[in-house]
Structure 1
């Protein structure tokens, strides 16, 4: 496994789509210059071949000059060889430019997603990020790589025009004036096409977002009987996307037809004029052959020019969607002058009155689950607050330092596709520590039941596991990370009582000497905690051991015993 394609991504220009594409081109200027050079060589030689062919006929065959025939035939062979070399390496450089632009954009999107963290789904739908990362990067790559091809096309047109002017001033003027008119006509179709393609992609993005929402919440939908409602919403969104796609397809078909019809008609015009000149003895038979070859040659560059406009138009649409995501800002930022994090210390939330003593197992029992969630967000600095760690405000620390030392794991933590080993041990801590963490999370039976154990492929979001199994595997991953402070929000809410008791005992042993905070109302966990904080909407109203609070706090006793005692 290698590292990322680009170790230094740079700072993209996000002011406009054009500026973004221009910046992307500047990041690989040497590649694009190489592509342009080979494009000039390949297309330039392709434009020279008809001239050499005509001279071979006139100076060699028609004149009966064997030495001239050999010389021009040799020149034709060299021109063809150079054309092949230019075409091969231009294509290789073109693919490299395409991949560079696409993968750099993917890395920029990944960096932005990491920077935004949990704020990403609050600012942009997951489906839109997926659409940009899968579909739009292809057009960005294509838009960047075709820019250098344009130079070769211009050179080829220049060579053909000069050659035809040498044969006939009228033919040269037809090519010189007709080519821009063709491109203008084709570009008139491209503009509405780009607009309709942009609308189509917006509809596809909305459809993707809806699909992700349905796939993520399918269990909830089944529980409340909402499958039909969301299926109807998906059907209507699909119809809108299909309609937008049909409208874009109509313009695309018109463009494809124009790319064939207009250059073809142009070639017919040039050949017709050339034939008249041959009949009038204004040009030689060799010039006629050369002229026909020129006319045929012009078809491909004209189509390539139309494709170039299409690629750029699509790239601008894709770049607009990309910079919309790359322009998002995180809800939290690093301080201008960050402080060094303490090696350890108490974690104190003055807003709620909660304190987690360093090295202790502290539980929080909240009468309202949302209150516990808010405290967890403040302790992990997912919102700005006055929380201190070792008497240092979290707001004075870099976010990366906070994330390294304080890990918050809630019931909605995600699992990803791939081997279970990589899912649980992304940093390669090794099987010894991994198995210890799995045992502490009481997840041995889950791993043993899998067909390939730790090498079993996990599907998207771990949907093949039950709720309790997912909780235990996520807990194992968190334990293996081994942060200074571990905050667990309802880690055993979907686990049976016997398994929960084992987890409580093993968690205390595994995290011995490190700060562990558990948000739960489970008696099995509360009874194992060194201290328990009873949290209400007003804040922490009582603090003590589980047994002390059972005796002194009737409200706490009713909460944790579910009113049974």
Structure 2
């Protein structure tokens, strides 16, 4: 029994698909060599069988020598037993090689996904990445399954050639030259197969990607009545994949037909020449029977070689796709780590915008361009080292991107605007490390005002969360994600639009709870938002204009002194139809929000946005 995941086998060789396959072979060379050994024994036993039958006929049956016949029959029985045992062991080792290569590839891709930041989502869709582990990794494993049979076939071919030469040098030349020629003739069919399999893999990848994206947005599609459009698109992609698969099937059918034709012609020619030599007295009857057995045996090496080439083509295509994923530069890494993180809570300075986040308290970032404020949050969380090199963030006076990534992730946590929940129990989703008691989890849920979500689950914290939390509404997912962020107890917690999908009453409760918890514990909390309710609960509000620090103060101070800030904050209130009062004015709603976060908000619809 092998444990999974495997220990790391080192850095994969990504210079070419062939080198990647060789790297995998090196990582499991022990099992691979064992499989090749059993495969060679298994095939050599098959190759010896015609030889023993011929000897039994010539030395036992024809002369009537029962002793010699018993000897050869006993040897044949022993050979059959060895062949049976070696066949079983070869199969077990071959399947082990298949699964090891597939799972090691899947594990390598998984590690890449967890360490690349958002570099992969920018280049590949979710479906394409999933296809590399669900499909391409298994195709790569196939070549290691057939490796033992291929090595055994080669050994058997060489042995049969030697034995045939002992009988007739003419027939020996036929075997020595004829088998490779038959294999080469199959290449004319294999080449178009390679091209068609590549086209089929690309079509299948696009179909999988479209399917994954459609499922992810199914709730929205149903809400706007647009699911039929994506169904038609998926049907079109599926049809393209089907047609590409049909072309692959045509090539496989041609390959099978050519195998039967070439191998059959070779077997007929080989047996015919042997029969002529038997009639002329050049060989004995038993040797003719052995030659016929060799002809039957040689069918296997030719077919195995063709099968190996076909599987190698699929593995080569799969390895190319995996290399594309693995070769994508990670957004963050520890290669240049040379500076220790500050020992005590320290200020964060974003050089590009001139924003300073002082340790402790609640701060907010507001910008007329949401991309600017979100970009600042990403820089504070060290999401892209390349960006940080150009626009450095300093933490405690040192460059953030030069610090150990593990420590940065432990002390600075960013909760993004698009919440992600994973399959499992709610307790596991909110506290993946299992560090907190149920009471602590309930306190975080209360901060996020998500108690109603918990009440809706039959088994409470042990209730199952569906994939990506699709069983929850957008506001429920957002509040659960906020509870998960609070549970990290991070030294610096950056929240990007944490209440954009909740109603005004809930938003007021969250703002009040954040101020009572994070605002009094000495931790630093940064909120990217334009919501007056949250802004009123902040100690400091930073206003960005053109990506630079424009002004800083409390929410009330900026409302009274900075017209651009007032316009940004009020604009959000007047755009959704809920922020206007009886006179149709949204400004009074924004102006009414002061440091007391429980004060009314223009949106009082009582439900989630």
TM-score between the two structures when normalised by the length of structure 2: 0.86
Q: 2:431 aligns with which of 422, 425, 428?
A: 425
Conserved 8 A contact 2:118-2:331: no
Partner of 2:353: 352
Cα drift, residue 430 of structure 1: 4.2
Whole-Å separation in 1 of the counterparts to 2:372 and 2:154: 67
Map 1:485-496 onto structure 2 (within 5 A).
485-496=492-503
Q: Distance in 2 between the 1:508 and 1:368 partners? A: 26
Q: What is the deviation of 1:308? A: 1.0
CA distances 1:259-311 after superposition (whole Å, capped 9, x unpaired): 33322333333334444444444433433333333222222332212111111
Q: Give the corresponding residue for 2:191.
A: 191
Distance apart, 1:171 and its partner CA: 2.9
For 1:48-447, list aligned pairs within 5 A.
48-221=48-221, 226-334=226-334, 336=336, 338-343=338-343, 344-382=345-383, 383-384=387-388, 385-432=391-438, 433-447=440-454
Of 500, 522, 525, the match for 2:531: 522
SS at match of 1:429: coil
User: How far is 1:376 from its partner?
Assistant: 0.9
Does the 8 A contact of 2:372 with 2:547 survive in 1? no
CA shift for structure 1 position 485: 0.8
TM-fit CA distance, 1:455: 3.6
Q: Deviations along 1:404-438, whole A, 9 cap, x unmatched?
A: 22111122132233333333222222442333323
**2:552 alignment partner, one of 543, 548, 559:** 543
Q: Structure 1, residues 218-246: CA drift from partner, whole Å, max 9, x if none?
A: 45555666545544443443333333222
Q: Give per-residue Cα distances to partners, 1:132-181, cap 9 Å, x unaligned.
A: 22111112112234334322111111222222233333333322222111
Please name the residue that 2:581 is paired with: none
The whole-number CA distance in structure 1 between the counterparts of 2:564 and 2:3 is 55
Return the offset for 1:466. Answer: 0.5
- 2:498 counterpart of 1:475: no
Residues of 1 paired with 2:398 and 2:231: CA distance?
51
Unaligned runs of 5+ in 2: 574-585, 589-609
- The separation in 2 between residues aligned to 1:222 and 1:410, in whole angstroms, is 25
Structure 1 residues 456 and 173, CA gap change in structure 2 (3 angstroms)? farther
Residues 1:360 and 1:52: Cα distance change in structure 2 (over 3 Å): same
Give the 4+ runs in structure 1 shifted more than 6 A: none
Aligned length: 565
Following TM superposition, by how much is the alpha carbon of 1:556 offset from its aligned partner in structure 2, in angstroms? 4.0
Cα 1:434/1:291, change in 2 over 3 Å: farther
Contact 2:117 2:331 in 1 (8 A): no
Q: Structure 1 pair 228/160, CA: closer, same or farther in 2 (3 Å)? A: same
Answer yes or no: is the 8 Å Cα contact 1:271–1:295 preserved in 2. yes
Contact persistence 1:335–1:395 (CA under 8 A): no
2:333/2:405 contact within 8 Å kept:
yes
TM-score by length of 1: 0.92
What stretches of structure 1 of length at least 5 have no aligned partner? Answer: none
Q: In 1, Cα distance between the equivalents of 2:458 and 2:252?
A: 49
For 2:335 and 2:186, locate their aligned partners in 1 and report how far apart those are by CA, in whole Å: 53
